[in-house]
Amino acid sequence: MPTPTVREKPTPEDAVRAANHRFFAAFEALSLADMEAIWAHDDDIQCVQPGWDLLRGWDDIRERWKRVFRNLKRVRVAISGNWVRVEGSVGWVACTARITTAFAEGFDEAIVQATNIFVLRDGHWLLVAHHASLLPATLRATVQ
């Protein structure tokens, strides 16, 4: 694709931020294919989600997303506080995600803090660790 205008080359931080955005976009799209594209398919990748034990390896993580997507009708994610740091071929992001999910029976809202780690492989930033946990705002909202 030709470069349409004179433009600064994206920084590694921009590229990691874009990869982080693609991860949450895959979640919103309930797309296993998009999840497959954003994760590294290694045996030692990690996934921690609220209410679940650690998952390791692409096979188990893929299976989890498949089940999550099966149970959801619609998801909307609003990201804020997108802090990115890159050192060499590793980048990590801390961000807050307000996740609204619709099930068959109703809907739910959660505010989670996520730490996502990406590695650069063949020019692509791939997700190797996702750790998400509920923030106090969610707990307060649940109590009210």
Where does residue 16 rank: exposed (0-12), middle (13-18), buried (19+ CB within 10 A)?
buried
Q: Which is nearer to a second copy, 31 or 115 (CB)?
A: 115
136 is a contact residue toward a second copy (CB under 8 A): yes
Q: Which segments within 12-89 are labelled E, that is strand?
A: 46-48, 55-56, 74-87
Q: How far is it, in rounded angstroms, from Cα 102 to Cα 91?
A: 32
Tokens for 23, please give them: 């991860």
Q: Which is nearer to a second copy, 30 or 135 (CB)?
A: 135
Q: Which stretch binds a second copy (CB under 8 A): 2-10, 14-22, 27-35, 89-97?
A: 89-97
Among 5, 9, 87, 122, binds a second copy (CB under 8 A): 87
Query: Do 98 and 77 meet the contact criterion of CB atoms below 8 Å apart?
Result: yes
Question: By C-alpha distance, which of 64, 131, 68 is closest to 95?
Answer: 131
Q: Which is nearer to a second copy, 77 or 137 (CB)?
A: 137
Q: Which is nearer to a second copy, 31 or 49 (CB)?
A: 49
What is the nearest approach in angstroms of a second copy to the Cβ of residue 109?
17
129 is a contact residue toward a second copy (CB under 8 A): yes
What is the number of alpha carbons within 13 Å of residue 114 lying toward its C-beta? 30
Q: Which residues within the stretch 31-70 sit at the binding site for a second copy (CB under 8 A)?
A: 44, 46, 48, 50-54, 56
- DSSP conformation class of 39: B
Residues lying near a second copy in the complex (CB under 8 A) are found at: 44, 46, 48, 50-54, 56, 81, 83, 85, 87-90, 92, 94, 96, 113, 115, 117, 119, 128-129, 131-137, 139
